[in-house]
């Protein structure tokens, strides 16, 4: 079963794996996991593409926070490269617009949208964006395959 991986690379973010046919969905929050545990989780499925949220420094964010966030993003790029998983960067404005959940900074918007689309999963702030990014990737891939 081929799957799409969606990643919200924030320190309190998460990842989601969705199969092409939507028969399988799995999520993970990063809060208390090591990079090794996350790598093991990723290799548990046949992932053919990853959609990694594109990030940049945010105004008003402290130097330490920016550094940690950038390090996390770099770890993800290295991990995906090491696992030979191709990835596409997708910026929040693009995936949020496509998924009808422009947050304007309010994380509850994406949490509510994720709960609508995945009622069988208990949605938290840590996994909401990852699920929506993975679903964005699944839908975009479907459109490309069907030639629409």
Distance CA 4, CA 85 (A): 10
pTM score: 0.90
Q: How far is CA 119 from CA 9, 10, 99, 111, 113, in A?
A: 23, 24, 16, 11, 10
CATH of the domain at 68: 3.30.420.10
Angle at 123 between CA 120 and CA 129, to 5 degrees: 120
Model pLDDT for residues 92-145, shown as the tens digit of each residue = 999 999 999 998 889 899 999 999 999 999 999 999 999 999 999 999 988 887
Structural domain total, the chain: 1
Contact 42, 24 (CB under 8 A): no
pLDDT of residue 115: 97
Domain that residue 93 falls in? 2-146
Name which of 39, 37, 28 is nearest 80 in CA terms: 39
Angle at 52 between CA 123 and CA 129, to 5 degrees: 20
Q: What integer is the mean pLDDT of 30-59?
A: 85
Q: What integer is the mean pLDDT of 47-66?
A: 77
Distance CA 25, CA 11 (A): 22
Number of Cβ within 10 Å of residue 78's Cβ equals 11
């Amino acid at each position: 079963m081929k799957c799409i991986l969606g990643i919200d690379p924030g320190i309190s973010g998460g990842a989601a794996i969705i199969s092409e046919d939507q028969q399988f969905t799995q999520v993970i929050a990063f809060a208390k996991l090591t990079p090794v545990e996350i790598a093991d989780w990723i290799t548990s499925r046949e992932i053919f593409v990853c959609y990694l949220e594109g990030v940049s420094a945010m105004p008003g964010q402290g130097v330490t926070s920016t550094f940690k966030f950038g390090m996390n993003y770099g770890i993800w790029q290295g991990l995906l490269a090491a696992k030979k998983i191709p990835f596409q960067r997708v910026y929040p404005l693009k995936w949020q617009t496509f998924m009808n959940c422009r947050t304007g900074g309010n994380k509850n918007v994406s949490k509510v949208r994720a709960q609508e689309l995945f009622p069988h999963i208990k949605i938290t702030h840590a996994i909401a964006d990852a699920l929506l990014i993975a679903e964005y990737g699944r839908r975009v891939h479907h459109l490309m395959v069907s030639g629409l």
